[in-house]
Every structure is written in structure tokens, then in C-alpha cells.
Structure 1
């Protein structure tokens, strides 16, 4: 569980974000003048929801010298950040805050609010979390028990307990991969995917090459026979790659498209 810090700090004025996922919240919550730099991926149209905003700021990677050149008073990252870089920043006294991304939908609001408080933007955080919860609650049990598979490149599928699984179950759908993969993501064979007999396949696209490889598998004749035309739904990876408020965008897209297809639209 994410806990808010009890330590009172001045509102940071030179925030550097080192990870795509912290980029998204910084760009959404911070005042423009607070942001010093974001990661290079913040400008990637396939992965980022705030490309236009990100391009207004310098980008950083793993270059410690470039990072400290901004004289940051807050550095945000995730547990995927280079541990050597993280240790170096902490050793030299920079206010470095790494986040472990939420694995549960119920933890997303606390994650958003924690970042907002750290930025001195508590009111914006409360507004964002309230909107997230309200939009998500409107989708509860709105789908029939259709069988759905969430597939990324090379038949990497979302099993039980993953965020896509939680979204599908909350809406009333069945994540067929969870029948064999009880927890987390995993690779499956085409034969295994076919055996699940999904009504819908949700395609997660996170790169042009990845989409191409996945398309090759999904164009297999056996799968085309199984799926009616239009029963494949493309979901941009940027909607659920970061376990943030954009998850509800993914849920709304999936919900809307399945209901359209179920009603023959």
C-alpha cells in the first residue's frame, strides 16, 4: 500500500521524471513551471498520453551529469530505474522518489494522490482520483459474460490478477487466459489460444514491430475461422502500460466496442 509522507516539504520547482509512468502523472498534475525535464519516452506517440506537453520540456535518460545539470529538487522514478543511477542520486542527497507501480486497480487512486501531494498539487490529485473512480464505477457489470483474451506481441497474454484481468472482471467479462495462467502475464501457443475459444481478442500494441509480429500470428487461418470479422479490438498500449488514470480510457474503449459488436453495430 502506498502511504503519503508525513514530512512537509516546499512545493518542488525543478522536477525531473526519469520514467514514462511518472512522466504521465507529472505532466498531468504539476504546474508547467514546476517541470524541469521528463524521460525520452514521454514524447513517444505510441506510449505516451502527453506527447504535446512533453515536447515542451528537455528529455533525459540515464546520464547522471545531465540530470543533475537541472539541479532538481525532486526526481521521480519507478523501481525499473537503473539501480546504479538511483543509488548515485540518493548518495549525493537528491530528493529521489521511486515508485512501485500499482498491481491492483484499488491502489491506483492512492498512487495518483501520493504523486500529487509530493508535487504540492493535492487538489489536482483529488480531482483526478475522483474522476477515475467515477468513470470506472459506471462500467461495473455492464458487459455480458463474453470470453476475452488480451494479447500482445508473440502471444504474450494477460493472465489472472493482471490489470487487464481486473478491468475485464469488473465489467462482467471473462478473461479466458486466467483459466490457465492464474497470475501474471505469460506466453502461450497458438493452439492454447485457440482452445480458449475467445469471443474477442484485445490487441495491445506498444510498437510498430510488435504490432506486426502479433498481426502475423493473429492472421493465422485457424484463428480467422474462430473469430468473426471485427472481433479483434485494438487497444493502445499507452492506455494501460503505466497503471495510472489512463486505465479507465482502456476500459471505456473495450466496453464501448464490445457492446457495439454485441448489438451488431
Structure 2
């Protein structure tokens, strides 16, 4: 199945109508991931404001949709004046703001980060419940589950891959990125080395693992010492003469249906690696 057929129905749901009834009518989001979950699930006019990151195409898979929404910078005073009847936030985001809003009797629904592909359906269901849009969420969940079954790789041969980011960090099998890598048909070097969610991978261990492919972070514009490690001679040598890949933040960082694009990219990369072996 072409990936466009998986993702395009999401846009159709964004413009579908739904009666509010007793559902919250003015919702504000404080987190990039809840921004996108709310944009997917909310009925037209229900979502009042999102974070500035939602309109950044580097970090958000829904930047175009977010540009039509008001922006909040996460200050309690600012949000209070918006008069929301619900705020959605990440579990670890803007703690002082969340606590202040609750003291002001503004309801706040918190969402845990997604650590697995199965969390995508859970987060959509949670957003559907708090927004009173269960039917919309259920439709998205069905599309995501069907799409994941179509794109995830079932293969007897699994090349080894290493995820390598700024400051030498990597992701193991109990992270969303690690599960995307696995669904794309790779074995994860970090998992074999005992990494769970995330941790620093020394260059020496990376070199000794000698993976078939290194998937690096996508550097931001400008110079960064934290990102310079991705151009270290060890990493360059591991990439030389081999297929390599990059992590596109917007499809990898949040547990939304757009993670399917990251799985598809890894499946395409696996096929390229195997073709070159």
C-alpha cells in the first residue's frame, strides 16, 4: 500500500464536522505532541491554541495545519486570559504552568510520552476521550493499525543499524525511535548492547559494533559542538561506502500516526542496504 493512502485520510478527518455537545469547546495545548494529537482529533474550532513548535516543519508533521491556529508560549497568565475549558499537556512539560492552572481551577489533561508504536493508538484514544471525540479517534486508530500492518517489515534477515544523535546519544528497543527501527526491519545495535530507552553510546562501542548502517540525527542549521560528533572520523568511516540514513525529527519524536512515515523510511533504507550487500 502506498504511504500516501495511509496518511491522506488523516487530513480528511481534520475537516470533518462534529457536534460539541458537552465536550470542551476551547482547548489549549502546551506540548508539541499534544498539539498534533489535538489537531488530528479535535473538531473544527475546538482547538484554540498550540505551541510555536507546532508550526515548525522541522519538528512538526502538521506544520501547515498549525499555522492557522493561535499560539501560546506556555505562560499561565497568557493561558488563563484565553479562558480555556481544557488544557492538554505533556507529563513533563511546563510543570509550573500546569500547577498554576490547576490552582486556578482550569482542567488539565496530561499525556505521557510515547515509548512504543502501540502507544500511538493509546494516545489517540486518550485525546479522543478528553475532547469528547471518540469516534474521530477510533477512525484514526483503525487507519494507523492498518497502515502499520502494511508498512512494518517481516523479514528473516535483519541488517544491524545504529541510531546516533547529537552528544553521541542513541535509542534502544524501549523507545519510540528504537521501535520504528525494528518495525522497518533492522536489528538495533543499542538493544544488543543493553540500552533501553536512550543513553550515550561511546564511539569505541559504535566502532566495535560495526553496524551495517548508521542512522544519524539531522543537524540543525548553524554550527553545534553537540552535533559535531555525528561527523566524527569514526562515524564517517562507518558510513564510507555504505548506505546511511537520517532521522527526520517531525516523524520520530511524537507518538502520532505520522510515525508510519518513519517506519516506511527505515523499510526503504533496509532494502537499500540489502541491495548493496
TM-score band w.r.t. shorter chain: 0.7 to 0.9
Q: Does 1:122 find its partner at 2:134?
A: yes
**1:143–1:17 CA distance, 2 compared to 1 (3 A):** farther
Q: How many Å apart are 1:238 and its aligned residue? A: 1.1
SS at 1:263 equivalent: helix
Question: Aligned partners of 1:206 and 1:225: how far apart in 2?
Answer: 18
**Residue 215 of structure 2 aligns with which residue?**
202
Taking structure 2 as the reference length, what is the TM-score of the superposition? 0.84
Q: What CA distance in whole angstroms lies between the structure 1 residues aligned with 2:168 and 2:156?
A: 25
Match runs of 1:107-256 below 5 Å: 107-138=119-150, 139-142=152-155, 144-205=157-218, 207-208=220-221, 213-214=226-227, 216-229=228-241, 231-256=243-268
Pairing 1:92–2:104 present:
yes
Over 3 Å counting, the alpha-carbon distance change for 1:210 and 1:137 in structure 2 is farther
Give deviations 1:177-230, integer Å, cap 9, x for gaps. 11223312111222221111111111233733588853x434334433333445
SS of 1:88's partner is helix
Q: Give the drift of 1:262.
A: 2.1
Deviation string, structure 1 residues 118-164 (Cα, Å, up to 9, x no partner): 22222221111111111212214247310001111121111232222
Query: 1:171 Cα shift?
Result: 4.2
Q: Aligned residues, how many?
A: 257
Matched, 1:38 2:62: no
Cα distance change on mapping 1:254 and 1:140 into 2, 3 Å:
closer
- State the SS of the aligned residue for 2:162: strand
Residue 14 of structure 1 corresponds to 26
* Partner residue of 1:27 out of 39, 45, 68: 39
Sort the Cα spacing of 1:75 and 1:224 in 2 relative to 1 into closer, same or farther, 3 A.
Answer: same
Q: Is the Cα contact below 8 Å between 2:184 and 2:270 reproduced in 1?
A: no
How far 1:39 moved relative to its partner? 0.9
Give the conservation status (yes or no) of the 8 Å contact 2:212–2:273.
no
* Structure 2 residue 80 is matched with structure 1 residue 80: no
CA separation in 1, counterparts of 2:156 and 2:76?
48
TM-score, normalised via structure 1 length: 0.87
Superimposed CA distance per residue, residues 70-109 of structure 1 (whole angstroms, 9 cap, x where no aligned partner): 1101100011222221111112211211111232322321
User: Do the aligned residues in 1 keep the contact of 2:41 with 2:136 (CA within 8 Å)?
Assistant: yes
Distance 1:210 1:35 in 2: 36
Moved segments of 4+, more than 4 Å: 209-213
Note the aligned Cα RMSD (angstroms).
Answer: 2.4
Supply the distance in 2 between the matched residues of 1:228 and 1:122 (Cα, whole angstroms): 49
